[in-house]
């Protein structure tokens, strides 16, 4: 139960980021990228990475590794990262590195535990990984877009990738009977669609 508690707490942060971003966007009558969105993203990602490790779920881990540093980059772009205590910054920076180093030192054990998991057929694992990858790559897209425009932004493509990736993860969660993935990803559907509508209106 405590492992599920970690997962639900992570999803609570992810749900909170969507809710905050949605409220801020409605008030501004356009899609915005509030600082709280990135703080909640970072906290949720750190916790969900831990949850995926405890659940022996490579798809979840992969999804978190791809987006983690982009959260930090956006916080730095907003001038928040430099205000974080140095020790906390160090922990945030090295967490994925330490995890990858541990995986490299125990490569065979990692393959046996994660990629040859009897509870997750390879086809389902690939599908779940594809969903997590697409869901994470939305932040790569967001990073490239923001870097080109010189500000932290959440463009239309980000929300399209969010909606598609989230739907795939929900399907994966249903097959795995994972309530954390099902509930966590379902929460964002309405917000993703609403942001697409707001983005369309702002370009009309």
- Asked if 104 and 34 touch (Cβ cutoff 8 Å), the reply is no
Measure the CA–CA gap between 113 and 1, rounded to whole angstroms. Answer: 21
State the average pLDDT over residues 108-134: 73
Could you report the per-residue pLDDT of 62-90, keeping only the tens digit for each? Answer: 667 778 889 999 999 999 988 989 999 99
pLDDT at 148: 93
Q: Which residue has the higher pLDDT, 4 or 106?
A: 4
pLDDT at 105: 65
State the average pLDDT over residues 3-7: 86
- Asked if 52 and 60 touch (Cβ cutoff 8 Å), the reply is yes
Structural domain range at position 153: 2-202
Report whether pLDDT(40) > 80: yes
Q: Which residue has the higher pLDDT, 103 or 91?
A: 91
Predicted TM-score of the model (pTM): 0.77
How large a percentage of the chain has pLDDT more than 90?
A: 32
Measure the CA–CA gap between 32 and 9, rounded to whole angstroms. Answer: 25
């Amino acid at each position: 139960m405590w492992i599920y508690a970690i997962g639900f707490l992570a999803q609570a942060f992810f749900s909170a980021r969507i809710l905050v971003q949605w409220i801020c966007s409605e008030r501004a009558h356009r899609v915005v990228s509030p600082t709280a969105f990135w703080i909640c993203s970072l906290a949720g990602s750190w916790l969900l990475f831990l949850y995926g490790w405890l659940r022996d779920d490579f798809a979840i881990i992969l999804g978190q590794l791809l987006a983690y540093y982009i959260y930090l980059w956006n916080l730095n772009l907003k001038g928040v990262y430099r205000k974080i205590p140095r020790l906390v910054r160090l922990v945030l920076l090295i967490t994925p590195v330490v995890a990858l180093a541990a995986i490299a030192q125990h490569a065979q054990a990692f393959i046996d535990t994660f990629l040859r998991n009897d509870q997750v057929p390879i086809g389902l694992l690939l599908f779940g990984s594809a969903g997590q990858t697409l869901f994470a790559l939305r932040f790569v897209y967001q990073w490239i877009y923001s870097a080109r425009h010189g500000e932290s932004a959440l463009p239309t493509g980000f929300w399209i990738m969010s909606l598609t990736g989230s739907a795939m993860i929900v399907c994966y969660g249903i097959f795995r009977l994972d309530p954390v993935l099902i509930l966590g990803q379902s929460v964002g559907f309405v917000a993703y669609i609403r942001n697409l509508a707001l983005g369309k209106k702002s370009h009309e």
